[in-house]
Amino acid sequence: MKKGLMIVLSAVLALTLAACGNNNEKSGKLADIKEAGKIVLGTSAEYAPYEFHKNVDGKDQIVGFDIEIAKEIAKDLGVELEIKDMDFGNLLAEVKLGKIDFVIAGMTPDEDRRKSVDFTKNYYEATQAVFVRAEDKDKFTTMKDLEGKAIGVQMGSTQEKIAKDITGAKVKSLGKTTELVLELKSKKVDALIVELPVAQGYVNKNPDLFLTSIVPEYESGGSAVAVNKGETELLAEIQKTLDRLTAEKTIDKWVSEMTELADQ
Ligand code: ARG
């Protein structure tokens, strides 16, 4: 009888200690980030106004409305922001490996991606857009006009999926949107698919480019922040910052400012 009680008591004690230990030294990304005093952002800075390179006071900087959001997230967590710039197609692998803590890159949450990462709610909504050389503007008015054409898209993007579904399309996937624009101008491709604010930016500043009225369908054109699967605490903290920025209507303001700032 007594021995039995002792065993039960020590089991209870062991469980209590384990629970306390858990409380004192929390595990997971959020705790690591606070401990390190910095959070590492993964992005692909060639997608103005989301994120892009800009020479500010003679220094190359990564700017954009996604970057403003990342800064606010770091500020709310009380840590420094470190930015790692890479090809869009590598972002999810890097977050899985733990080399970056979160992704903000105009990334659209979709079913495939949800298998490997967790997303916040969309912090920004956009539609898809198609732009072409101005001289071809009358040739592209419906989705059908894209059939059999050479279409440029970013590697690993949702636009790549859209293009691959177009009958007979010759899809050219490249790592960077900036390279795609050169391909379009030099007639190596006939049309590019990107999110509307990106297309708008290029067309505004390049009279030789034209924004068509074609709007390809996709499950979403919205953007969300991604973290490694299961990092629920970190995700919840990031969501809080996004909710605040949404309530303050700050993101829309940044979108216009950053569209102005981009060189393209
Ligand atoms: N929204 C698209 C996607 O999720 C394209 C995003 C491209 N972003 C970038 N930073 N290049 O695939």
Looking from the CA of residue 45, the nearest atom of ligand 1 is 10
Give Cα 75 to chain centroid, integer Å.
Answer: 19
- The pLDDT score that the predictor gives to residue 27 is 79
The strand ranges marked E within the chain are 38-43, 46-47, 51-56, 59-63, 80-85, 102-103, 117-119, 128-133, 150-154, 170-174, 191-195, 209-211, 226-228
Cβ–Cβ under 8 Å, residues 112 and 220: no
Q: How is domain 29-125+222-263 classified at the architecture level of CATH?
A: 3-Layer(aba) Sandwich (3.40)
Distance 116 CA to ligand 1 centre (A): 17
Q: How far is CA 122 from CA 126, 176, 197, 199, 252, in A?
A: 10, 23, 16, 20, 13
Distance 160 CA to ligand 1 centre (A): 10
How crowded is residue 206: how many other Cβ atoms within 10 Å of its Cβ? Answer: 16
Ligand 1: residue of 43, 53, 66, 159 to mutate (most ligand atoms within 8 A of CB) is 159
Ligand 1: residue of 63, 85, 107 to mutate (most ligand atoms within 8 A of CB) is 107
Looking from the CA of residue 194, the nearest atom of ligand 1 is 5
Whole-angstrom distance, CA of residue 27 vs CA of residue 226: 19
- The pLDDT score that the predictor gives to residue 110 is 93
Whole-angstrom distance, CA of residue 259 vs CA of residue 264: 10
**The 80-85 sheet, strands edge to edge:** 80-85, 38-43, 102-103, 226-228, 117-119
Distance 104 CA to ligand 1 centre (A): 9
Tokens, residue 15: 């469980």
User: For the domain 128-211, what is the CATH code?
Assistant: 3.40.190.10
In degrees, to the nearest 5, what angle opens at C-alpha 129 toward C-alphas 103 and 251? 45
- Beta bridge partners, 55, equal 60
Distance 140 CA to ligand 1 centre (A): 23
Helical pair 232-247 and 29-36, crossing angle rounded to 10 deg: 70
Distance 21 CA to ligand 1 centre (A): 41
Looking from the CA of residue 113, the nearest atom of ligand 1 is 4
Distance 189 CA to ligand 1 centre (A): 19
Q: Which residue ranges have their beta carbon within 6 Å of ligand 1?
A: 44, 46-47, 50-51, 88, 105-108, 154, 157-158, 177, 195
Whole-angstrom distance, CA of residue 45 vs CA of residue 65: 11
- The pLDDT score that the predictor gives to residue 13 is 54
Rounded to whole angstroms, the maximal C-alpha distance in the chain is 93
Distance 141 CA to ligand 1 centre (A): 24
The strand ranges marked E within 64-169 are 80-85, 102-103, 117-119, 128-133, 150-154
Looking from the CA of residue 158, the nearest atom of ligand 1 is 12
51-56 vs 59-63, strand pairing mode: antiparallel
Is it true that 29-125+222-263 and 128-211 share their CATH fold? yes
Kindly report the pTM of this predicted structure.
0.90
- The pLDDT score that the predictor gives to residue 30 is 97
Distance 87 CA to ligand 1 centre (A): 10
- The pLDDT score that the predictor gives to residue 50 is 98
Q: What is the pLDDT along the chain (264 residues), one digit of tens a residue?
A: 556 656 555 655 555 545 444 444 567 999 999 999 999 999 999 999 999 999 989 999 999 999 999 999 999 999 999 999 999 999 999 999 999 999 999 999 999 999 999 999 999 999 999 999 999 999 999 999 999 999 999 999 999 999 999 999 999 999 999 999 999 999 999 999 999 999 999 999 999 999 999 999 998 889 999 999 999 999 999 999 999 999 999 999 999 999 999 987
Domain boundaries in the chain? 29-125+222-263, 128-211
117-119 vs 226-228, strand pairing mode: antiparallel
The residue nearest atom 12 of ligand 1, judged by CA position, is 157
Looking from the CA of residue 110, the nearest atom of ligand 1 is 4
- Beta bridge partners, 56, equal 59
- The pLDDT score that the predictor gives to residue 12 is 54
- The pLDDT score that the predictor gives to residue 10 is 60
